[in-house]
Amino acid sequence: MMMSFSLLSGSSSAAARTRLAALIFLPLVLIGGALGLSACQGGEEGSEVSDRVSALFEPLPEEAPVPEDNPMTEARVDLGHKLYFEPKLSRSGTISCNTCHVVGAAGVDHRAVAIGEGAREGRRNSPTVYNAAFLESQFWDGRAATLEEQAKGPIQAHVEMDLTKEEAVSRLRETGYLPLFKKAFPKADTALMFDHIADAIAAFERTLMTPGAPFDRYLEGNEAALSTKQKAGLELFMNSGCAGCHRGPMLGGQGYANFSHAKGDGDVGRAEVTGDEADRYSFRIASLRNVEKTYPYFHDGSAKTLREAVSVMGESQLGRTFNEKEVERLVAFLESLTGEFPSVPYPKLPRRPASSPDADVASGAGP
């Protein structure tokens, strides 16, 4: 579909990419429909359908790509695990990354829009943190290219955690985090610094993968992994044009597309980042992985159920009205994208007694 269902939770020219998506969209629909018709007329579902599926989709890798400048060492991941749950990174001391991206709730908060410091409401729905390492960009408008860059935003955002860089570093220093930063960044002249906070959080987030979905098993050759209804939903997903944008291992997550359902809203999406009028109401094409669990949907959380989201996407992006049976088939297929979530325990956080000497200050740790 031309937009994502967790629309549905930087490039040289984002506008060009949007226009390119529009140019290739119709051929993809026509080709997909022709292939689907051929498969039905031939009376065989076997190799031809499998070839079509494998050309569009891939199983989700079990490990995320790791940047050379931020290796996933055990010490760094452990530190990031603690920081992800650390409420002292918010002004009130009550909000952490896990508040909006709850690891025990598919990586979202199930609110229409996020709520941060002082009960201030954000403008957009919280996207899931699971598998975010595979996304081409972060945030609905793509303003962050990496997990490291993304991790810095909420801590400093007034509507979210509302701290300065210096305040964040000072709080962690006072709490007793310095030894953990030294262990995680042993070669750094200054271990406890704001950039390293983001690096550690990003390293931890790269462990939040959900492979092993029924659809992954199907892609790996297990025909019985999908039910008859789910296979029918997959056919409809391809033949209707949904796979024009939602393809690859993440079934989306790459590039941007205009979301006509949002036209007229105050949130103009990608255009806020690029300043290009052609990007107005364009948003990052989100992944459909675990979409069954990441309600409500769209960047504004306006669709409460997956059935509602499927119907809206059909009308706004494909120009067609799915009937009840078609909606049921598509939802059944989307449910096959739910993977195996890792067990993520609540970590023991450093809490240095108030009477302890301020050894961190003497170490020279700074922002």
Residues designated catalytic: 160
DSSP string, 40-86: HHHT--SHHHHHHHHHH--PPPSS----TTS---HHHHHHHHHHHT-
Contact of 133 with 144, CB cutoff 8 Å: no
CA-wise closest residue to 268 among 295, 300, 316? 300
> For residues 240 and 174, what is the distance between their CA atoms, to the nearest angstrom?
56
Integer-rounded Cα Rg, in Å, for the chain is 22
Q: Kindly provide the b/e burial profile for residues 212-230, where b requires at least 16 CB atoms within 10 angstroms of the residue's own CB.
A: bbbbbbbbeeeeebbeebb
Written as six digits, the tokens of 6 are 């967790």
Contact of 32 with 241, CB cutoff 8 Å: yes
How far CA 110 is from CA of 100, 164, 274, 302, in Å, comes to 9, 28, 29, 12
> For residues 169 and 211, what is the distance between their CA atoms, to the nearest angstrom?
35
Contact of 8 with 291, CB cutoff 8 Å: yes
* Residue in the block written with tokens 């996304």: 135
Q: How many CB atoms lie within 10 A of CB 117?
A: 17
Q: What is the DSSP letter of 247?
A: -
> For residues 215 and 211, what is the distance between their CA atoms, to the nearest angstrom?
10
> For residues 116 and 54, what is the distance between their CA atoms, to the nearest angstrom?
42
> For residues 95 and 229, what is the distance between their CA atoms, to the nearest angstrom?
42
Helix (H) or strand (E) holding 99: helix 97-100
Residues in contact with 340: Cβ distance below 8 Å, sequence separation at least 6, in sequence order: 210, 211, 212, 213
* Residue in the block written with tokens 């119907």: 311
Q: What is the DSSP letter of 348?
A: P
